[in-house]
Amino acid sequence: MEHLTVNQALSLLSIGKTAPPQLLFRQHARTLWYDRPKYVFMEFCVEDSTDVHVLLEDHRIVFSCKNADGVELYNEIEFYAKVNSKDSQDKRSGRSITCFVRKWKEKVAWPRLTKEDIKPVWLSVDFDNWRDWEGDEEVELAQVEHYAELLKKVSTKRPPPAMDDLDRFTRNLLNALDYGCCIRWKDRRGGDWAAGLLTSYQLAVISVFGPFIRALLSV
């Protein structure tokens, strides 16, 4: 089936022509995205997808598939900035298709995913993974670990989580539950990374939710 972009549809209307309804009113896959210093991560949320096709170019991505009911889904996104399509990849799971898109210019934040400042109804920010990383020196240390964890999520066999796979605040929280207000954590090489005191807000969180978190993690 042929698909029209928004600009193509508007061009047809401007000259008095109309496109077939199936081209104008096609369904889109719900899409989540978030930004990192080196990558832009996109997740097309389609369970039990079939006939999956991902065309990734330096300025756009075209995604199509069929869902569990056999309905055809189609997404086309013009990127906010140029990407390195040759150093990007996608992974498929039973719940979604995740794309790891390498930025052409690293350490440049993307305020949005799309070239045009228009937000499609099917596109949303993945707030569970979103982080304001600009100016944060520790973000770079977490990139390899974060990327590896995402690859684990799309595999069929997932090993049990380790402390190194937890985010910084969670590691600090667990350490604080054991050692009190003073926190100290180590990097993978075993050396001291940093030490400091918990903020009053973190102490309040620990005092209220600490026992529950520890109980859940011990199950």
CATH at residue 135: 2.60.40.790
Domain-located, residue 1: no
* Residue-level pLDDT at 12: 44
% of the chain at pLDDT higher than 90? 46
Please check whether residues 201 and 129 belong to one and the same domain. no
Segment 137-189, tens digit of pLDDT: 555 555 556 656 666 665 544 454 454 545 555 555 555 555 444 444 444 44
Closest CA to 90 of 41, 46, 131: 41
E-strand spans in the chain?
31-35, 39-44, 50-56, 60-66, 72-78, 83-92, 97-103, 123-125, 182-186, 192-197
Please check whether residues 185 and 132 belong to one and the same domain. no
Average pLDDT over residues 4-23: 48
* Residue-level pLDDT at 135: 58
**Would the pLDDT of 40 be above 90?**
yes
* Residue-level pLDDT at 147: 59
* Residue-level pLDDT at 217: 52
Domain-located, residue 94: yes
**Would the pLDDT of 67 be above 50?**
yes
184 and 171 Cβ atoms separated by less than 8 Å: no
Please check whether residues 143 and 191 belong to one and the same domain. no
What does the CA dihedral 43, 44, 48, 52 come to, rounded to 10 degrees? -110
Task: Quote the CA–CA distance of 42 and 82 in Å, as a whole number.
Answer: 15
* Residue-level pLDDT at 26: 76
Distance set, CA 78 to CA 3, 14, 118, 197 (Å): 15, 22, 11, 45
Alpha helices by DSSP H, the chain: 6-14, 21-24, 138-153, 168-179, 200-217
164 and 188 Cβ atoms separated by less than 8 Å: yes
Instruction: Identify the domain containing residue 91 by its residue range.
Output: 6-159
Task: Quote the CA–CA distance of 172 and 140 in Å, as a whole number.
Answer: 18
Query: What total of structural domains would you count in the chain?
Result: 2
Q: Can you state the angle between helices 168-179 and 200-217, rounded to 10 degrees?
A: 90
Closest CA to 62 of 73, 71, 70, 47: 73
Please check whether residues 70 and 150 belong to one and the same domain. yes
Segment 111-124, tens digit of pLDDT: 999 999 998 999 99
* Residue-level pLDDT at 78: 97
